[in-house]
Structure 1
Amino acid sequence: MKKIITLMLLISVFFLTIALPQASAQLADGSHSIQYQVNKPDSNSASIANDYFVKPAKVTVTNGVATVQITLKNSTWITKFQPLGGATVVNEDKVADTRTVQFTVKDLSKPIVTAMKIDIDDINYHHEYSVALVFNGAASTGGAAKTDGAKASTPAGTESQVPNPQTGDATPYVAIAALVGSAFLLYRKKQQTKMEA
């Protein structure tokens, strides 16, 4: 019985240290096209602001630092777009009412909290709030949008589509089950020892 308990404990430790899902791998240096979703802060739900963003984003990685370019629709309504560290406008199309902004990020696996202000004079709507930009491959609390396989149009050989990596979502449940099983066996063994005494 002692050998079974030891084996169960070893299996539990294995699952907890080896098999738990790991954070998404860092992107390689170069240009990537990545799907993303604009969520309400601390939520898996898309914000209404999600419709104001063109997908996918263009991400250029240099020495592990990602430079993200995203295009905003209804640009004249968005009077403030400010991720941590700020953003710069790299392109503006007044006829299409779009603008492309650029900002740098060290870790795309975490939601990027961004301050926004929407001003629509015609309906007297003036509101400031925060959103969270969640890129594919982000942590499970991020709720990343699924990729549709679309590729941004860029010169051949300079762009790569980053798929939504699969995570071992069932792994924590297996580890928990192993821990519960081990605890039950230890409890049962202890009870049997008490009865025999």
Structure 2
Amino acid sequence: MKKCLTIPVSMLMMLIFAVILYVPASKAAAALADGTYSIGYTVLQGDNDSASMANDYWEKPATFTVKNGEMTMQMKVNHSSWVTSFKVDNGGGFADTQVVNSDSSEDTRVVQFKVKDVSNPLMAKIHVTVKTVDYDHDYTIRFAFDAKSMKALSTAESKADKAANVTPKTKSEGSAPATAPATAPAVNAEQKKAVAVNPQTGDTTPVTVLVALLLISSFILIRKFVKL
């Protein structure tokens, strides 16, 4: 009887912990509103959590946009001429990042790529070539994002709010000559504050119900096997 009881109870407990740990994280990611965000990160070595020497080659923070639940990350690489190849894990292998801007005088470039979430380290492969010292090597690195540092730079909601607060011009106002104001308009202090990114309250309800059902099911099974 002990063996029959131990197996189902262990499986149920593993399932409960998986739901508690995984589902809220996915809900939090899905709760991000469409917009642009900044996030800090560290470049780690491929096989451990120590900072990679390549960490100094990437500018912080990164920025990413969310549109219809899809995230696109942008990063700035310094010593761009040294980092001759930069590929990221796309779930089925490693794909080249797309260059969106480069500055040869500053030896920098901005690249972008798709990401599924920022809660787990992102694997990447780079090739570093320094011709002046005959250095030529491939490396596997990981990008560990700091979710606590994430800030909303702009969101679809904030843009809609600004549009709603614009007072339409009357005909008399439109006929006035366009002149620059003597002083810059005051910026509302509230507009300077970064928007806190929090999961929507409604998203947690299905998780709570699911966990409650699992707990009830486990209790019933335990009672059933104890009676046996």
CA distance 1:132–1:75, change in 2 (3 Å): same
Instruction: Work out which of the two has the higher radius of gyration on C-alpha atoms and give 1 or 2.
Output: 2
The TM-score normalised by the length of structure 2 is 0.53
SS of the counterpart of 1:23?
helix
Structure 1 residue runs of 4 or more that deviate by more than 6 Å after TM superposition: 149-152
Q: Read off the aligned partner of 1:28 and give its amino acid letter.
A: A
Give deviations 1:100-140, integer Å, cap 9, x for gaps. Answer: 00101122222111110000011111010111111113xxx
Q: Read off the aligned partner of 1:104 and give its amino acid letter.
A: K
The aligned residue for residue 46 of structure 2 is 41
Structure richer in helix, relative to its length = 2
- Aligned pairs (5 A) from 1:1-197: 16=17, 22-23=24-25, 25-26=28-29, 27-84=32-89, 85-137=95-147, 147=149
Equivalent pair of 2:38/2:64 in contact (CA under 8 Å): yes
Equivalent pair of 1:33/1:162 in contact (CA under 8 Å): no
Aligned-pair RMSD on alpha carbons? 3.3
Q: Read off the aligned partner of 2:70 and give its amino acid letter.
A: V
SS of the counterpart of 1:51?
helix
Q: CA offset at residue 76 of structure 1?
A: 0.4
Q: CA offset at residue 45 of structure 1?
A: 1.4
The aligned residue for residue 215 of structure 2 is none
* Range that drifts further, 100-109 or 73-82: 100-109
The TM-score normalised by the length of structure 1 is 0.60
Q: CA offset at residue 87 of structure 1?
A: 1.1
Please, which runs of 5 or more residues in structure 1 have no aligned partner? 1-12, 138-145, 164-197
The total of aligned residue pairs comes to 141
**Percent sequence identity over aligned pairs:** 39
